[in-house]
Amino acid sequence: MKNREAVIEKMKSITGPDWVLTELEQTLGYLYDETEPLLRPQADETCLVVKPGTPEEIAAIMTYATESSVPVFPRGGGTGLCGAAIPTLPGIVLSLERLNKIVELDEDNLMITVEAGVTLEQLNAFLSKENDLFFPVHPGDEGAQVGGMAVENAGGVGAVKHGIMRNHIKGMEVVLPTGEVVMMGGKLLKNNMGYDLLHLMIGSEGTLGVVTKVILRLYPRLAYKGTLLISFETRQAAAKSVSQILKQGMVPLAMEYIDRSASQEAADHLGLTWPAEKGSVDLMLILEESTEDDLFDNTEKIVDICDANGAVDSLIAETGKEQKVILDIRSNVYTSFKEKAADAIDMAVPPAHFPAFLDELMQVVDQYGTQSPTVGHIGDGNIHNIILMVDGKLPDYFEEMRQAMYEVAIRFGGTVSAEHGTGRTRKAFMSLQFSPREIQIMQLVKRAFDPAMILNPGVFFDEPNGTENGLTGIH
Amino acid sequence: MKNREAVIEKMKSITGPDWVLTELEQTLGYLYDETEPLLRPQADETCLVVKPGTPEEIAAIMTYATESSVPVFPRGGGTGLCGAAIPTLPGIVLSLERLNKIVELDEDNLMITVEAGVTLEQLNAFLSKENDLFFPVHPGDEGAQVGGMAVENAGGVGAVKHGIMRNHIKGMEVVLPTGEVVMMGGKLLKNNMGYDLLHLMIGSEGTLGVVTKVILRLYPRLAYKGTLLISFETRQAAAKSVSQILKQGMVPLAMEYIDRSASQEAADHLGLTWPAEKGSVDLMLILEESTEDDLFDNTEKIVDICDANGAVDSLIAETGKEQKVILDIRSNVYTSFKEKAADAIDMAVPPAHFPAFLDELMQVVDQYGTQSPTVGHIGDGNIHNIILMVDGKLPDYFEEMRQAMYEVAIRFGGTVSAEHGTGRTRKAFMSLQFSPREIQIMQLVKRAFDPAMILNPGVFFDEPNGTENGLTGIH
């Protein structure tokens, strides 16, 4: 590890010695994210962890890294699910945790400016204390940092009504790999100068720049919330109801599809009882309206639509306690399967194709004589299904079955990743969705931002081959 | 013009001889767009016009153009306002007019697929005949083609509620400059694989690829519309009302600001009477709700907010005829000044800064002893003000005053172009908004898509210098 000491000294000179971690016992917590352990790549355990306090310090780190060909791996909350934050070469893990200030709440423009390391929990706590505005994106884990949510283009259950991160990010301060600090966008609702680098940065998974500040749009909080749980015998009936609800111009905050087997497993895990008994699949709908009348009217209309499509039961959770039971169980589906999940799949298809797609997907699963518990943001066409371990290991058929699943999605005009990202665990499937020329263009875009190819190497594309292309790393 | 005959023969071999125009009397109508005549660049009158009928023909043209270094200038409806469709080098004007089919209406997914040459008029006529869905973007001129609206990221009056083109484009078929036909995105609401080339293409003004198909999201038509015209003595009072309306969670379809001098000029031009007399500025608000009750309630709440901010008059246009008078006058502000307008400015600032920004802007105008009639999409912070001709010419102070105006916008965190685009007429101001490194990255992004630099040269950046960089053109 030729230069490690020199890199450590340089980092200490930039951030001060307290903010550079060099021993594995200190750095271990920074080497992985929430990606399934059987799938995630091996982290390089020689990586340092550096915790800069300002964009200027990050600029100094990036300038040095580009000049010295040292890989830099930006790290937010570590809640990602595609290995985009796992450092796979000797280098620097750059933690954004100290950039954790709410910079400005601008109530007149309905926008907030936060540093990249502010967590979703911190943002939501601030907003619920201060005013009547809220931020609608909720990817599930409130430990996520806003910068990470931005570069992963996070989604979540509220996307059917409010959309994903892309819809709410108006500006970002970014440190480029070559060390310049730039402001992309601003508090602007319309902006048509030049190429839109802001939108290129969103979803770029830490490969084009280090985000240091984010300007988010906020929305007036709607006062009246209700939760519906509606049961069906078939997923076709559930999906048809969703399509008809949306066509009538009603847009619930959330429209979730849940296999009964998944909800029961999650309920057992929590020691609770899933309140629906009839049927085999459920729709969980959360409504959010500005008046109690609207809430009542829309609930009635939705139940009527579902009844007309053969719903076998419907439950309107009126008390906070009833609502909490349903939400807790839904939120814990992933957790309850965590010990058994080889992979949690994240495909999306055109929303109305959801039932036909799921039918074909389950035919694939049946062929391998297994199960694949499924939940999904059905209003978005986004399905999460779990490939189960066998004896605590990847099953023999794992690669083959997963490939077959992805091919079904592509046939339906779908995508391998709807919201969890490409990162290091899904990059092998880029060629399923993109032509060689598109992938080449993406590589050239990467190089336009990052000529020394030092920022988050290994995401989207394979790592460069060490010194052969000038990437010396820390040897 | 060394190779012109050879290019003509090649084009005829691709599209058939009927679709290649070579004489100036035929091509003249394809050489300019709606950019102000005093500002637009001179078109090269040796350009051919080619009208391919399929993406495959376009692919053959692009392959040839890249191999032979012949500039290609894609052309939609020619309704643009930044000179992005004006061919400034000897080359090929590629008109999309024959790609004019509605490909598929997908009511279940609330999406429509259209060819790039479909006009907004054609799209709206199709939708109003066929069903209860509508497409919300309306940049003003229904001769605009959907492909052009996509690459210009068109906005318009409905953006405050429904957003701009970027919010509604889910997929695009694109012919790359190197000849490949690719599908970016799809009928997907979430899609996180790789860099988002679709969003890079949106707003790229015909420089990265030729759009041949667009997948647009549609929305249920809301049945109840109302128009309010509310008059104030000061723009501060008007702007404050807008901010408070939005904060209460009401989002009108349109929120327009109009100087009384502008509305009166437009009314005179049409031989109509502007219905407001008191005050000096007006807000025109269009509401669109799903029930008559909602329309009534929101109208009442909005009038109350405006009254509390000192509105001096409010008019609720209840009949179709009353609404039409107001909309016609507002729509004709630009037309009524067309003969007198040296430049129609298109800045945006953070919406709540609108009044302070406009105050400073008018101080600049006053310094030059002139007027600058102003309308604006006030809910978006997007202002259109007119720099008037003097004796039919650009005034002496034109460059200096315009530069000063733009600098005010930048000081308020604004942009030189909100929705009309950068094109050939605003590219000189890129450096006001972007650092040299950002402009360099944009140039490298351009080259990643278009290695021979043949597609719409002169937009965003200056034209390459002829043969010196391999661009031989048609000499």
Segment 440-469 of chain A within 8 Å of chain B by CB: 441-442, 444-449, 460
Contact status, residue A73 vs residue A92, Cβ threshold 8 Å: yes
Per-residue pLDDT, averaged over A65-79, amounts to 97
Listed range (A4-18, A20-34, A122-136) with the worst mean pLDDT: A122-136
- CB–CB of A439 and B164 under 8 A? no
Q: A257-284 as b/e, with b when 16 or more CB fall inside 10 Å?
A: bbbbebbbbbbebeeeebbbeebebbbb
Percent of chain A scoring above 70 in pLDDT: 97
Decide if A301 touches B, using CB distance below 8 A: no
- The CA distance from A75 to the nearest CA of chain B, in Å, is 19
Listed range (A405-414, B10-19, B220-229) with the worst mean pLDDT: B220-229
Three-state secondary structure string covering chain A: CCCHHHHHHHHHHHHCHHHEECCHHHHHHHCCCCCCCCCCCCCCCCCEEECCCCHHHHHHHHHHHHHHCCCEEEECCCCCCCCCCCCCCCCEEEECCCCCCEEEEECCCCEEEEECCCEHHHHHHHHHHHCCEECCCECCCCCCEHHHHHHCCCCECCHHHHCCHHHHEEEEEEECCCCCEEEEECCCCCCCCCCCHHHHHCCCCCCCCEEEEEEEECEECCCEEEEEEEEECCHHHHHHHHHHHHHCCCCCCEEEEEEHHHHHHHHHHHCCCCCCCCCCEEEEEEEEECCHHHHHHHHHHHHHHHHHCCCCEEEEECCHHHHHHHHHHHHCHHHHHCCCEEEECEEECCHHHHHHHHHHHHHHHHHCCCCCCEEEEHHHCEEEEEEECECCECCCCHHHHHHHHHHHHHHCCCECECCCCCCCCCHHHHHHHCCHHHHHHHHHHHHHHCCCCCECCCCCCCCCCHHHHCCCCCC
Residue A474 belongs to some domain of the structure:
no
Shared-domain flag, residues B49 and B114: no
Q: Which of B132, B188, B420 sits opposite A350 (nearest CB)?
A: B188
Decide if A351 touches B, using CB distance below 8 A: yes
* pLDDT score for A465: 64
With bands split at pLDDT 50, 70 and 90, how would you rate the model's confidence at B150?
very high
pLDDT at A13 over 50: yes
Which tens digit of pLDDT belongs to each residue from B395-442?
999 999 999 999 999 999 999 999 999 999 999 999 999 999 999 999
Which tens digit of pLDDT belongs to each residue from B82-110?
999 999 999 999 999 999 999 999 999 99
Shared-domain flag, residues B23 and B125: no
Which tens digit of pLDDT belongs to each residue from A333-386?
888 998 899 999 999 999 999 999 999 999 999 999 999 999 999 999 999 999
Shared-domain flag, residues B315 and B403: no
- CB–CB of A193 and B429 under 8 A? yes
Question: What dihedral do alpha carbons A153, A157, A158, A160 form, nearest 10°?
Answer: 90
Contacts with A246 (C-beta within 8 Å, 6 or more apart), sequence order: A351, A379, B110
Q: Which of A188, A379, A422 sits opposite B350 (nearest CB)?
A: A188
Chain B residues with CB-CB distance to A167 below 8 A: 167
Segment 259-278 of chain A within 8 Å of chain B by CB: none
* pLDDT score for A472: 54
- CB–CB of A220 and B248 under 8 A? yes
- CB–CB of B415 and A445 under 8 A? no
pLDDT at A394 over 90: yes
pLDDT at B2 over 60: no
- CB–CB of B413 and A204 under 8 A? no
- CB–CB of B442 and A195 under 8 A? yes
Domain extent at residue B8: 4-97+443-469
Number of domains in chain B: 4
ipTM of the complex: 0.96
Residue B68 belongs to some domain of the structure:
yes
pLDDT at B247 over 50: yes
* pLDDT score for B1: 43
- CB–CB of B247 and A110 under 8 A? yes
CATH code (residue B116): 3.30.465.10
Listed range (B84-88, B319-323, B368-372) with the worst mean pLDDT: B319-323
- CB–CB of B444 and A444 under 8 A? yes
Decide if B106 touches A, using CB distance below 8 A: yes
Residue B401 belongs to some domain of the structure:
yes
Q: Which of A351, A430, A441 sits opposite B189 (nearest CB)?
A: A351
Angle at A443 between CA A441 and CA A444, to 5 degrees: 65
Residue B210 belongs to some domain of the structure:
yes
* pLDDT score for B468: 38
Shared-domain flag, residues B243 and B328: yes
Per-residue pLDDT, averaged over B344-372, amounts to 95
Interface with B, mutate which of A193, A215, A439, A450 (most B CBs under 10 A): A193
Total CB pairs under 8 A between chain A and B: 251
- CB–CB of B438 and A197 under 8 A? yes
Among B159-163, B352-356, B402-406, top mean pLDDT goes to B402-406
- CB–CB of B190 and A460 under 8 A? no
CATH code (residue B399): 3.30.70.2740
Chain A residues with CB-CB distance to B419 below 8 A: 190, 192
CATH code (residue A254): 3.30.70.2190
With bands split at pLDDT 50, 70 and 90, how would you rate the model's confidence at B463?
confident
The residue in chain B having the minimum alpha-carbon distance to the alpha carbon of residue A197 is B200
Q: Which of A108, A193, A430 sits opposite B422 (nearest CB)?
A: A193
CATH code (residue B88): 3.30.43.10
Domain boundary among B284, B309, B334: B334
Q: Element (H or E) spanning B311, and its range?
A: none
* pLDDT score for B469: 39
Shared-domain flag, residues A356 and A319: no
B106 to each of A247, A310, B183, B221, how far by Cα in Å? 12, 24, 18, 15
Per-residue pLDDT, averaged over B240-248, amounts to 92
The pair of structure tokens assigned to A338 is 């965590």
With bands split at pLDDT 50, 70 and 90, how would you rate the model's confidence at A474?
low
Decide if B433 touches A, using CB distance below 8 A: yes
With bands split at pLDDT 50, 70 and 90, how would you rate the model's confidence at A467?
very low
With bands split at pLDDT 50, 70 and 90, how would you rate the model's confidence at B467?
very low
What average pLDDT does the structure give for chain B?
94
Shared-domain flag, residues B313 and B234: yes
Percent of chain B scoring above 90 in pLDDT: 87
* Best CA proximity match to A47, nearest among A83, A84, A2, A93: A93
The residue in chain B having the minimum alpha-carbon distance to the alpha carbon of residue A435 is B182
What average pLDDT does the structure give for chain A?
94
Shared-domain flag, residues A73 and A119: no
Q: Which of B192, B197, B433 sits opposite A420 (nearest CB)?
A: B192
Which tens digit of pLDDT belongs to each residue from A91-115?
999 999 999 999 999 999 999 999 9
Segment 363-422 of chain B within 8 Å of chain A by CB: 377, 379-382, 413-422
The pair of structure tokens assigned to A34 is 């929430």
* pLDDT score for A291: 86
Contact status, residue A466 vs residue A217, Cβ threshold 8 Å: no
With bands split at pLDDT 50, 70 and 90, how would you rate the model's confidence at B465?
low
Domain boundary among B334, B365, B381: B334
Decide if B321 touches A, using CB distance below 8 A: no
Chain A residues with CB-CB distance to B219 below 8 A: 249
With bands split at pLDDT 50, 70 and 90, how would you rate the model's confidence at B474?
low
pLDDT at A473 over 70: no
- CB–CB of A107 and B247 under 8 A? yes
Shared-domain flag, residues A329 and A394: no
Interface with B, mutate which of A189, A224, A288 (most B CBs under 10 A): A189
Shared-domain flag, residues A357 and A306: no
Domain boundary among B220, B244, B272: B220
* pLDDT score for B238: 95
* pLDDT score for B472: 53
Residue B436 belongs to some domain of the structure:
no
The pair of structure tokens assigned to B165 is 């083109």
Shared-domain flag, residues A329 and A344: no
Contact status, residue A217 vs residue A96, Cβ threshold 8 Å: no
The residue in chain B having the minimum alpha-carbon distance to the alpha carbon of residue A187 is B350
Residue A62 belongs to some domain of the structure:
yes
With bands split at pLDDT 50, 70 and 90, how would you rate the model's confidence at A131?
confident
Residue A447 belongs to some domain of the structure:
yes
Shared-domain flag, residues A82 and A109: no
Percent of chain B scoring above 70 in pLDDT: 97
- Cα gap A60→A13, rounded to integer Å: 10
Q: Which of A152, A249, A441 sits opposite B222 (nearest CB)?
A: A249
* pLDDT score for A45: 97
Q: Which of A197, A290, A381 sits opposite B249 (nearest CB)?
A: A290
B297 to each of A288, B222, B239, B316, how far by Cα in Å? 19, 16, 21, 13
Q: Element (H or E) spanning B36, and its range?
A: none
The residue in chain B having the minimum alpha-carbon distance to the alpha carbon of residue A250 is B220
Determine the length of chain A. Answer: 475
Segment 217-246 of chain B within 8 Å of chain A by CB: 219-220, 222, 243, 246
Per-residue pLDDT, averaged over B124-130, amounts to 91
Shared-domain flag, residues A203 and A237: no
Contact status, residue B11 vs residue B50, Cβ threshold 8 Å: yes
A276 to each of A253, A327, A441, how far by Cα in Å? 21, 13, 50
Percent of chain A scoring above 90 in pLDDT: 87
pLDDT at B64 over 90: yes
Residue B327 belongs to some domain of the structure:
yes
Which tens digit of pLDDT belongs to each residue from A260-310?
999 999 999 999 999 999 999 999 999 998 889 889 999 999 999 999 999
* pLDDT score for B470: 42
Contacts with A192 (C-beta within 8 Å, 6 or more apart), sequence order: B152, B153, B155, B203, B415, B417, B418, B419, B420, B421, B422
